[in-house]
Chain A
């Protein structure tokens, strides 16, 4: 059973870079069957997809965040990571990592990590 766990600083200063890592257990990020995504949720608000990476390193980002986002994968550690630059208070959110499964034409997020709250504040 695949499990995902986010880790990283819970507090980031404005204008700095937010960095998070997702560790995958019970499965491999090198599996060609899956993509690996980041999704965030500001406190009390809805969900926003940030982007995904394939094990080969191919990425796809939300156009609204594309200029500030980098997602990378480390197959040797079975991890993938998120960097979001020039953060502001608007980037305060619970950040989730998730596995994206492609089933014929369907693309779905399952499972998700438990989420980690990142607060942007000086």
Chain B
């Protein structure tokens, strides 16, 4: 199984801050990585696919980068509505695993 290590597990930032979350795969997964946003009591929502492609309708302040084993998710200017838990998810070799999640709070 491919393990995904996401960090930090929680993060507190101010409105307008640049926020970065990292995800490391236990082996090379090329760019087979998605990022999801989950608000309390809701289902996850796709934000980024194939490591860096922004899903249609998702604000451009969200971005992703990386390949191989190391990936980064960035919010360029944190907004109050971005409070949520964020998950990375790999899909290599038709077996899918998620990172542990990063809970983002407003300072």
Q: How large is the interface on A (under 10, 10 to 19, 20 to 34, 35 or more residues)?
A: 20 to 34
Residues of A within 8 A of B94 (CB): 60
The answer to whether the Cβ of B26 comes within 8 Å of any Cβ in the partner chain is no
B4-44 contacts to A (CB < 8 Å): 30-32, 34, 36, 42-44
Query: With contacts defined as CB atoms under 8 Å apart, how many contacts are there between chain A and chain B in the complex?
Result: 60
Please determine whether B87 and A46 come into contact, CB atoms closer than 8 angstroms. yes
* Residue interface mask A77-117, B partner, CB < 8 A = 1: 00000000000000000001010000101111111111100
Assess whether A103 is in contact with B49, with CB atoms less than 8 Å apart: yes
Question: Given the known A-B contacts A46-B98, A49-B96, A60-B94, are A107 and B44 also in contact in the complex, defined by CB atoms under 8 Å?
Answer: no
Measured CA separation A110–B94 after assembly (Å): 17
- Contact call A112/B44, Cβ cutoff below 8 A: yes
Inter-chain contact B43/A115, CB cutoff 8 Å: yes
Q: CA A98 – CA B96 in complex, angstroms?
A: 13
- In order of increasing CB-CB distance, the 3 nearest A-B pairs are A112-B43, A49-B96, A47-B98
Q: Which residues of A contact B36 (CB under 8 A)?
A: 109
Interface hub of B34, B36, B91, B99 (most chain A Cβ within 10 A) = B91
Contact B43 A105 (CB under 8 A): no
Q: Is B3 an interface residue (CB 8 A)?
A: no
- Other 14 A-B pairs with CB < 8 A, given A105-B31, A109-B34, A114-B43: A46-B87, A46-B99, A47-B87, A48-B98, A49-B96, A60-B94, A62-B95, A63-B1, A105-B30, A105-B32, A106-B49, A106-B50, A110-B55, A112-B45
